[in-house]
Chains A and B, each alone.
Chain A
Amino acid sequence: MKTSLPRLVRNHRPTTFLRILTHSPRWSSSLSQRPGAAGVTFPGAVNSKFTSALTFEHPSTYPAIPTYRCTSPDGHLIDSTILPCPDALALAMYENMISVSIMDLIMFDAQRQGRLSFYMTSQGEEGTCVGSASALEKGDVVFSQYREAGVFVQRGYKLSDFMAQLFANRRDGGKGRNMPVHYGSKELNIHTISSPLATQIPQAAGAAYALKMQRLQNPDLPPRVVACYFGEGAASEGDFHAALNIAATRSCPVIFICRNNGYAISTPTLEQYRGDGIASRGTGYGIDTIRVDGNDIFAVREATLKARELALKDGGRPVLIEAMSYRISHHSTSDDSFAYRARVEVEDWKRRDNPITRLRKYLENKALWDDEREAEARTRIRRDVLKAFGDAEKELKPPLRAMFEDVYEEMTPEIRAQMGELREILDTYPAEYDVGEFEGGKDSLEK
């Protein structure tokens, strides 16, 4: 049951079925049933044994998939097989995690004060994001859901980039079109976030197939994978199913990273699924799968490093990582999570197990960190966040014209005419609209 499909195939039916895997459609009929065979060669399950015992497979009799951890809660490496991560990287990851958490606190409050329209924090999940991103190469393509600020920071997204997007100013790559937290960066190979849940998962499979094809056609290109993030709630969408299945059948080099943080807004996992989390689904699709402790940044990093290797092996294949954590924050600034969970539960998680404190202990054990450095870093980062915040808030908004552009590659006559109509309205009713904050005022609406 635990053996993945491709492995079974390689062990037992080397030629015929592999041909099917390489997508020659006509050979399925050559799988014939030999009389007296102990196994079934139905084309739909080539390695199944006959049994005369009428038994159902009960999920409860399967042990839960274990959770990989390589750092103890007091910060000691407990997996002797892994090489310690370079000190500089460990320090950088630590600063990146606290950057996200400091930015989260400041921006959450700023939203509460009405200075931006919306925000989502990622408290408790900094480890999953920073750790996995640290294992990717710069050229790897990332698709994310929205709670992955740590991925952005780790790949080099700057505070000014975050703030430009959050305040939708004229430096925002999204030209002020997207809600806050919908970051994206071509330079960093991270696709722009969209609100519809799980839509990025089949896209990640297709993108991975593109990378694989491009390398097939030009072997000089460096090997690349796609990493795709989503929550356990999003994994209930049809797109999750579609994605894992097509990624497996087309052997796409993609790492699916599920952040299982226990809640989808107010919905606890008990109402989200009844199987063994998301990881148990992976093997059903024929996908190599691991569950890791998301509060253990090194466990996430090691798992992602291995996953990346696996994903590129033998022409490519998908890998699923389920990172377990707890959503310490409210779902978003529009949510008060104490309406559906106890405050003590949250406080408990915050104190008891937390990716930031675990890495801090590791660094302190190695004498790379202490209270003084902690205070210095926090003061510095706080100052940098506030500076970027202030600058972004003051900045002009994108030109109004950006509202009409990029719907199509070229503006259609219909859209051009409508832009002209808006311009006339602004000319006729100048008192009704404030266009002062937009770069170029209403003049940008010139046809």
Chain B
Amino acid sequence: MPLIARIYRRGITSSRPLINNVFNIQTSCLYSTLPPNARLNIPTDYSTTPLLAHNSQSALQNPELSPEVRNGTTKRMNLFQSINDALSISLAEDDSVILFGEDVAFGGVFRCSMKLAENYGSERVFNTPLSEQGIVGFAIGAAAEGMKAVAEIQFADYVYPAFDQLVNEAAKFRYRDGAEGRHVGGLTVRMPCGGVGHGALYHSQSPESLFTHIPGLRVIMPRSPIQAKGLLLSAIASGDPCVFMEPKVLYRAAVEQVPTASYTLPLSKAEILKEGKDLTIISYGHPLYICSAAIEKAEKDFGISIELIDLRTVYPWDKECVLKSVQKTGRCLVVHESMVNAGIGAEVAASIQEDKETFLRLEAPVMRVAGWSIHMGLLFERFNIPDVARVYDKIKQAVEY
């Protein structure tokens, strides 16, 4: 089978020596074997997916970019390189930007901060002791005194020791300071999240919905290198503290042409990736690729057209865009990797049925495809994370309802 061969080869060639990439994540396809008769659950071919800009023309036509950026150049980057690019730009543009966390100085375990300490100095890009509550507390203090503090939590799975600092301190800082006017808008907390095939319990989590219950924080998850760069630059520039979650499975896998200029993409604004009229799929981050593949099959099989929406910022989220789409299509599913219980899908679904106008247009219940309400057992990831078959099946249920 040529496809397997291609994916297999890609897996091999892109697995670098361990010294370069402490947490080698690109080997995931070596772990999962493609069933011989699979038609739906075929690993994403990132070199052909319509979700990535494979040439500079498509990268530059985004109307959200300024005319100058659109007249500029692009460069092929994967997600970690585009994040590195964004960090480098922000360090170059603004002296108040500092970058720190565990193992950030040598380039980071995922290479996102490569060469930044060398280029911008060890005062601005540095390692901290191994203490998440210390990292976020330190970042809040620095932001409160006017710095733009970009803190890295090595894995989203390890953000919990810093939860108190994020919930009680960062999120409430502006509110409690009131008329005094101080805030920690300069704070951005980056963290790799999501499954990679073999991360098991503590290298796979996506705790975004734990943050969406916290007024005061902006929670962002990009799906691609172009987005990662633009949204990260927006997060750093934003006057609100931002939690920036990076799907680590995409660090090396997602490659596209990325504008080389400095640019931002709007926060709290969804993006319609594909227009359709019979059903809306709402997702964000890595599952968008799964949705895209499922849509391709379902549209062919059921003769329908499906609208695909990328939330980009999961809180405060773009309700208006979602409601408008569902009013048009009458059917909707929400797809995310993290657990279904009290996840982003719950909020989106509740908001859809709560909106009187949208409720009247619904022709099927709002459905969710998400991780099961369990932990991520090592061997079971591919049965846990939403895949093409599960999204396809829910589309079928929604259409046949």
Contacts and interface: CB of A to CB of B under 8 A. Distances in A.
B36 interface: no
A414 B140 CA distance: 26
Contact of B145 (A192, A194, A207, A250): A207
B175 A406 contact: yes
Contacts of A213: 96, 98, 123-124, 142, 147
A233 B371 CA distance: 41
A155 interface: no
B316 A412 contact: yes
Given A26-B106, A178-B176, A213-B123, A207 B128 contact: no
A271 B123 CA distance: 40
Contacts of B135: 246
Given A216-B123, A245-B129, A413 B105 contact: no
A407 B128 contact: no
22 contacts: A26-B106, A143-B141, A172-B178, A172-B179, A184-B180, A186-B182, A192-B177, A192-B180, A196-B169, A202-B133, A202-B140, A207-B145, A209-B138, A213-B142, A214-B145, A249-B128, A407-B215, A408-B174, A408-B240, A409-B174, A409-B238, A413-B316
Interface stretch (A55-63, A68-76, A235-243, A356-364): A235-243
A413 B135 CA distance: 32
Which 3 A/B pairs are nearest by Cβ-Cβ distance? A202-B137, A206-B141, A242-B134
Interface in B175-225: 175-183, 185, 215-216, 218
Contacts of A172: 178-179
Contacts of A207: 141-142, 144-145
Contact of A409 (B124, B147, B169, B239): B239
Contact of B138 (A26, A203, A238, A414): A203
A205 B172 contact: no
B216 A408 contact: yes
A41 interface: no
Given A194-B169, A407-B174, A414-B319, A246 B180 contact: no
B186 to A, nearest CB: 9
A36 B65 CA distance: 65
Contacts of A330: none
B161 interface: yes
B126 interface: yes
Interface stretch (A17-25, A276-284, A301-309): A17-25
Nearest to B139: A206
Nearest to B107: A25
A182 B176 contact: yes
A245 B131 contact: yes
Contacts of A194: 168-169, 172, 176
Given A194-B168, A202-B165, A408-B216, A243 B129 contact: no
A408 B129 contact: no
A299 interface: no
Contact of A209 (B142, B268, B320): B142
Contact of B141 (A174, A205, A238, A408): A205
B95 interface: yes
Interface of B: 95-96, 98, 105-106, 117, 122-124, 126-129, 131, 133-147, 149, 161, 164-165, 168-169, 172, 174-183, 185, 215-216, 218, 238-240, 268, 316, 319-320
A242 B240 CA distance: 24
Given A203-B144, A203-B169, A413-B319, A243 B178 contact: no
B142 A206 contact: yes
Nearest to A209: B142
Nearest to A170: B179
Interface string A1-20: 00000000000000000000
A403 B117 CA distance: 43
Contacts of A327: none
B126 A199 contact: no
A192 B176 contact: yes
Interface string A128-139: 000000000000
A216 B147 CA distance: 13
Contacts of B127: 23, 25
Interface in A391-421: 402, 406-410, 412-415
Contact of B126 (A23, A178, A239, A242): A23
A185 interface: yes
A191 B178 contact: no
B216 A205 contact: no
Given A177-B176, A407-B216, A409-B183, A217 B95 contact: yes
A90 to B, nearest CB: 31
Interface centre among A24, A178, A206 (most CB of B within 10 A): A206
A246 B165 CA distance: 15
B137 to A, nearest CB: 3
Interface string A176-208: 011000101110000110101001011111111
A441 interface: no
A268 interface: no
A407 B175 contact: yes
A311 interface: no
B302 to A, nearest CB: 34
A211 interface: yes
A172 B240 CA distance: 23
A175 interface: yes
A239 B122 CA distance: 24
B240 to A, nearest CB: 5
B185 A409 contact: yes
A24 B140 CA distance: 24
A320 interface: no
Contacts of A191: 144, 177, 182
Nearest to B142: A206
A368 interface: no
A141 interface: yes
Contact of A214 (B144, B146, B175): B146
A141 B145 contact: yes
Contacts of A199: 137, 164-165, 168-169
